[in-house]
Structure 1
């Protein structure tokens, strides 16, 4: 793995023009996945419910802050930046993560009718915004000459989150044409994100082979690759539980198991690279939240497979990874709270030589 050897660390240039960027919503994603993944862990439902409540409050706080700070000029500036633009995938995923948690956990507090209303609202907003990011941000990159990095997946993962979250909502719909339309729509969203991921991941792999890791502050974004992988496993198996098409269960298990194997391989690679880089110095940035949400999707994917296939392998891995997820969340949350959030909201800007 000599091609993956970290490059000598150079202090990254930090953007100051847009101090409150969309990447702050990664904290909502990370906190939310701790809650939703915990919903399937034995004996953790109450604790997971409190984490969801904290996450919902965090989402409200950040949305209010964004509405007060952002203008159309600010948004255009962020979209024009080749690094910051990628993180516009975070707000829609934050919305849908809180929405799904409302049904899985918040229903114990506010009742299922209110939880479903919250989830439908956040899922609709998140899906529309996610479809916009999956089109506009890749268009921005065409012809730019930028080298791919893990953050390129951020704007195309939201449709996969929509597919998984939509499956939860579809399970509460009565049988009929509308339920079938929702499930088919979720499969279409699944395809949007899956094939976009299949285009981007080889580019990331090629960059690692040809150019190495680049600056240390971008190493955490390697974990983002786990996001579409784990979320697609979750979506495929959640959709298989809403029976409107023949062969859904078989597809969920077969696709999920194959993808699960590659996801574990990538996790080992990303973990090895992260440890090597940390030994040389891994400066804190909001990109550290990349350690949390993607790992959480692998937990939910493993739990979804365990629900379809009674296997100690899937359930055991889910428990072990959930322990790692909670540990990562605690570390990143403490570092975030100990940092001036607005001052560090923008990711390290890559110098032209590192792109």
Structure 2
């Protein structure tokens, strides 16, 4: 999501990147919003239609960005090698993973509610995207963790949490998929895989978050151009709350509720800090970069965690803020893309 050399993209203020992993924050945010709109469709008129619109947009972005990146690689094969060999660009593939997972989940949730006859097809699509997204997400998280341990970079950033979030998204999405599986053996394997994803994301994510925020609070503040990336750690918090609810059985339901409530309340503090830093960035007239989309998906995970916990009021409040953020990022993205053509 970020747009700095240390985070994997071009310097903020320069021309926006072409189609590819850098833009997948938009796919993630759109898919997450679609799911939340559908979950609250019975409570708020118009949300059901909005969920379908967001789902269609999510698929358009997913296919468009994927095919656009494929064309770029066909013209310049080095484009691919740079994206997978440059450690500063590897985190961007975490966004691709989460884009697949978010759109897959939204496809099943919306289709099951709006077109039940197609639910089995949507479930197959969801399962396929979950498999691809999970493999990619684990590879990205573990690969980036190895890079951090071996290189020990001196300036931790909130963006370091980005590649650690996908396994937690897989844990939640996989838990929902497991509920639809009839075979007890397959369901157990899925749940086991989701628990592994949960642990990997939680351990790596907490370590990175502690390092990043200790550095930001006591040593070097987050650069203005990276203000919106302070939302990224909320992705682990919100998704872990959701995953705990989805994966816990009857015997662990009480413990899962306590865990989810604690992390969401703790996350409110990080959320307040993210709002403060982001407002500071806007006041300082930070230029648009694809990192603005970092505000969307992490917030949607908090809304999802609140929903599964039964905090409907908090989830609905999150959706309202998320809609405003999505519109802001969408308008800014269109303007940034159109600007070079006008010039």
User: Hey, what's the Cα distance between the residues in 1 that align with 2:27 and 2:12?
Assistant: 26
User: Hey, what's the Cα distance between the residues in 2 that align with 1:265 and 1:281?
Assistant: 25
Q: CA deviation at 1:332?
A: 0.4
Residue 99 (structure 2) aligns with: 94
- The residue correspondences of 1:1-355 to structure 2 (distance < 5 A) are 12=11, 19-41=18-40, 42-43=43-44, 44-70=47-73, 73-107=78-112, 108-109=114-115, 111-141=118-148, 142-240=150-248, 243=249, 247-306=251-310, 314-340=311-337
User: Hey, what's the Cα distance between the residues in 2 that align with 1:342 and 1:178?
Assistant: 51
Flag the structure with more relative contact order, 1 or 2, with Cα contacts below 8 A and sequence separation at least 6.
1
Residue 5 (structure 2) aligns with: none
Q: CA deviation at 1:17?
A: 12
TM-score by length of 1: 0.85
Q: CA deviation at 1:106?
A: 2.5
Superposed CA deviations along residues 306-352 of structure 1, whole A, max 9, x for unmatched, are 1xxxxxxx221111111000000000011101112898xxxxxxxxx
User: Hey, what's the Cα distance between the residues in 2 that align with 1:77 and 1:175?
Assistant: 42
**Residues 1:146 and 1:340: Cα distance change in structure 2 (over 3 Å):** farther
Q: CA deviation at 1:80?
A: 4.7
User: Hey, what's the Cα distance between the residues in 2 that align with 1:21 and 1:45?
Assistant: 30
RMSD: 2.3
Superposed CA deviations along residues 1-30 of structure 1, whole A, max 9, x for unmatched, are xxxxxxxxxx95667897444121111001
Structure 2 unpaired stretches of 5+: 1-9
Structure 1 unpaired stretches of 5+: 1-10, 307-313, 344-355
User: Hey, what's the Cα distance between the residues in 1 that align with 2:20 and 2:71?
Assistant: 13
Check the 8 A contact 1:153/1:200 in 2, yes or no.
yes
User: Hey, what's the Cα distance between the residues in 1 that align with 2:280 and 2:201?
Assistant: 31
**Residues 1:333 and 1:16: Cα distance change in structure 2 (over 3 Å):** closer
